[in-house]
């Protein structure tokens, strides 16, 4: 049977469609580079502010505006505000509407309470590890302990604060408990804030604190749990 005119037209149209070139898809939109750059700047500003707080460059009780800090660090005010909001969430600074941010120094009671909570979390964790880890595992932390001694020897409070957190963070990571690590580090950051009406620790105090890290590792490696518990508690509470 001969195809009808309609069937012939449909066949011709179908052939033309199959032969037609497939149009190229438009390229996917490229995410603007400003987004990662902005987060990178904010992270750098946050790190710089933490160092300034640890070193005493930003003093407890003093108020700082975002524009003034932005000028100091050579950035716009936006990443400074974002970094300061992060510190406000951690309780390290206070937001003052239309004025800026005030560094929230601890009272001696605040410091003692933070130390007590840290000890209640970290000392039992260290003792549990001491009963299960082989002695050689403690040597993995030796470079971190030595980094605190190096920073303390030159009196670099900002470097010491970072190295100190690193030692305690990696120590607690041996437990495998991510939540414990996160909570303990948050408390540790708060404990590193200056105490009101108390001078910042000098080189001798930093060095004494740093040497407690190496002494603790020595006791843990030797399996001396009594000494390890005493050292860990004294290190965290200062008692």
CATH number at residue 222: 1.20.120.530
Check whether residue 78 and residue 126 sit in a common domain. no
216 found inside a domain: yes
Total domain count, the chain: 2
| 175 touches 131 (CB < 8 A) | no
Residue 12: predicted pLDDT: 46
Is there a domain that residue 231 lies in?
A: yes
Q: What is the pLDDT of residue 11?
A: 52
Do 124 and 99 lie in one domain? The reply is no
pLDDT in tens, 98-143: 889 998 878 889 889 999 999 999 999 999 999 999 999 999 999 9
* Single residue among 54, 75, 103 that ends a domain in this structure: 103
**Encoding tokens for residue 38?**
């902005």
13, part of any domain: no
Q: Cite the beta strand spans of the chain per DSSP E.
A: 63-64, 93-96, 100-103
Same domain for 191 and 86?
A: no
CA distance 124 to 83: 33
Within this chain, do residues 196 and 149 fall inside the same structural domain, yes or no? yes
Domain that holds residue 41: 37-103
- 192: Cβ contacts below 8 Å, ≥ 6 apart: 53, 54, 161, 164, 165
Residues 98 and 166 in one domain: no
**Shared-domain flag, residues 121 and 232:** yes
- Tens of pLDDT along 177-219? 999 999 999 999 888 887 777 788 889 999 999 999 999 999 9
Residue 142 to residue 7: CA distance in whole angstroms: 85
217: in domain:
yes
Please tell me whether residues 218 and 192 are part of one structural domain.
Answer: yes
Contact between 193 and 53 under an 8 Å Cβ cutoff? The reply is yes
CATH code of residue 59:
1.10.10.10
Per-residue pLDDT at 191: 87
pLDDT over 60 (residue 17): no
pTM for the full predicted model = 0.74
pLDDT of residue 90: 82
Query: Model confidence over 23-82: pLDDT tens digits?
Result: 454 443 433 433 344 568 888 999 899 888 888 888 888 899 999 999 999 999 999 999
Q: What is the pLDDT of residue 189?
A: 87
More confident residue, 10 or 134: 134
């Amino acid at each position: 049977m001969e195809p009808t005119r309609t069937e012939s037209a449909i066949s011709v149209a179908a052939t033309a469609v199959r032969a037609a070139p497939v149009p190229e898809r438009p390229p996917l939109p490229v995410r603007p580079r400003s987004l990662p750059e902005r987060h990178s700047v904010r992270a750098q500003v946050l790190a710089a502010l933490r160092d300034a707080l640890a070193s005493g460059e930003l003093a407890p009780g003093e108020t700082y505006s975002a524009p003034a800090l932005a000028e100091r660090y050579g950035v716009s005010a936006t990443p400074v505000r974002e970094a300061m909001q992060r510190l406000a969430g951690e309780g390290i600074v206070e937001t003052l509407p239309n004025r800026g941010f005030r560094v929230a120094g601890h009272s001696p009671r605040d410091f003692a309470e933070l130390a007590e909570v840290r000890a209640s979390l970290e000392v039992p964790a260290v003792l549990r590890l001491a009963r299960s880890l082989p002695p050689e595992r403690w040597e993995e932390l030796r470079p971190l302990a030595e980094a605190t001694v190096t920073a303390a020897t030159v009196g670099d409070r900002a470097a010491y604060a970072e190295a100190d957190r690193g030692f305690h963070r990696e120590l607690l990571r041996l437990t495998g408990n991510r939540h414990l690590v996160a909570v303990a580090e948050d408390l540790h950051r708060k404990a590193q804030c200056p105490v009101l009406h108390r001078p910042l620790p000098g080189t001798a105090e930093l060095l004494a604190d740093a040497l407690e890290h190496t002494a603790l590792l020595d006791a843990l490696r030797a399996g001396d749990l009594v000494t390890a518990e005493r050292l860990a508690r004294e290190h965290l509470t200062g008692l």
